Amino acid sequence: MIGLFGGSFDPVHHGHLIVAKVAAEKLGLDALRFVPAREQPFKVGRHRTSAEHRAAMLSLAMADMPGFSLEPSELQRPGPSYTVDTLRHLREREPGAEFVLLLGADAAADLPAWREAGQLRDLARIAVFARPGTPVADSPWISAVIEVPAIDISATEVRRRAYQGLSIRYWVPDLVAEYITTHRLYLDPE
């Protein structure tokens, strides 16, 4: 079973990596692929860095994480990036594979508004991250709920810290922090 964890990852941070690792362990995944969106439909025009920068940071973050990889299919298509299109592409490319879509509780709550939402559960199982104190909506689409630790790190806060010249060490993997500094990312106000 292959886990698919999509998002902006603008930038990827330790919270993303921790919940991904917990999901891989609890679901017994054979592999977990991070799927950076070229352009999320709900964030059109609001990504702070290019898809290429976000993919590069993801690759750096996963460098020492066996079983984790980058799934570039959304980067290879023009945006916006719709999950249903990605799942169809992966099903066509890998017809025997079993996929599980990993979502945060907030994304799962918006699931009915997604493009062709009714098709999603025909293309993949859906597992939702449940943080302490955050309810997961009851839905027939959800096949698993994964209890994950509450990690109070957000990409918004990482970007704010970078903009203010504060350290982002321990917020993101060291190689990602170096990349952000080298490429002078997140230096403009939001």
CA distance 7 to 81: 10
pLDDT in tens, 163-172: 999 999 999 9
**pTM as predicted:** 0.91
Determine the 3-state secondary structure of 157 from DSSP: helix
Which CATH number describes the domain made up of 2-151? 3.40.50.620
Is residue 22 within 8 A of residue 146, CB to CB? The reply is: yes
b/e per residue, 102-140, with b = 16+ CB within 10 A?
Answer: bbbbebbbebeebeeeeebbebbbbbbbbbeeeebeeee
Is residue 71 within 8 A of residue 33, CB to CB? The reply is: yes
Nearest to 16 by CA among 57, 48, 46, 44: 57
The residue ranges of every structural domain in the chain are 2-151
Q: What percent of the chain has pLDDT over 90?
A: 64
pLDDT in tens, 42-91: 565 566 889 899 999 999 999 989 999 999 999 988 878 899 999 999 99
Highest mean pLDDT among 129-133, 136-140, 168-172: 168-172
Give me the residues paired with residue 69 across strands: 33
